Amino acid sequence: MLQKSHEMKIDCCVKDNDDKKSALGRKIDLLLNASFMEISSSEWKKDGISFGLAEQQQIKNVRTNSAILRELLKLPINQEKKNDLFVLGMDWIGVCGYVFAVKETNDVHVAYHVGDLILPASLSSFEDFQKTLDTLFSFKNHQLRLKRIIEPAYNKQSASNTLRSFRSVTPPPNQQSTPPKTFFTPVKKQ
């Protein structure tokens, strides 16, 4: 009984004022990765959520994709490819959503709209669904292109880090450098 009371108290303390839902289960809905690195984040929410929660989701998703881009730009990728590097994400509320991009421009990450996504609610709306499919295929093709760019760069960076640790002649940080002790083989005097 004490534990159940404790759980209810925690649940009560983390309620969102906008939609009165527990915040304990909030997480990123979809993280795409390649070579052990995230390349995209997407979020889904049910239809009918408040504007405040929708805006909170959008901000969180843009910030997450911005962090992903920051990590990708640290990879050893040639400058020409780095200039074309950007991350795509999706935000969905019910059956409507959109794809957005996050790109670095003049040391600032800029998020911009790429295309709308609308799932058909009836047979008469299938004509508009063609645009959604085109946008989703563009999203998929971008992720595959991004994977082809980052996989060799990730492997190169991993190999470089491994080799650096073997070649390192500097002492580990926070340790004093002392000359190595030399032991001589004793020699018998004759």
pLDDT at 75 over 70: yes
Q: Which of 8-12, 70-74, 75-79, 148-152 has the lowest mean pLDDT?
A: 8-12
- What region, left, alpha or beta, does residue 74 occupy, with left being phi > 0 and alpha being psi -120 to 50 degrees? alpha
- The set of long-range contacts for 20-29, using a CB threshold of 8 Å and a minimum separation of 24, is 28/61, 28/64
* pLDDT for residue 88 is more than 60: yes
Q: How far is the C-alpha of 90 from the C-alpha of 42, rounded, in Å?
A: 5
For 99, the enclosing helix (H) or strand (E) is strand 96-105
- The pLDDT score that the predictor gives to residue 161 is 86
**Confidence band for 190, pLDDT divided at 50, 70 and 90:** low
3-class secondary structure, 155: helix
* d(C-alpha 117, C-alpha 97), whole Å: 5
Q: How far apart are CA 36 and CA 38, in angstroms?
A: 7
* Spatial separation of the C-alpha atoms in residues 146 and 190, rounded to whole Å: 74
pLDDT at residue 170, as a whole number: 61
pTM: 0.71
List of residues 6+ apart from 32 with CB closer than 8 A: 38, 39, 40, 41, 42, 143
**Nearest alpha carbon to residue 58 among 75, 48, 44:** 44
* 3-46 pLDDT per residue, tens: 443 333 333 333 344 444 444 345 668 999 988 899 999 999 99
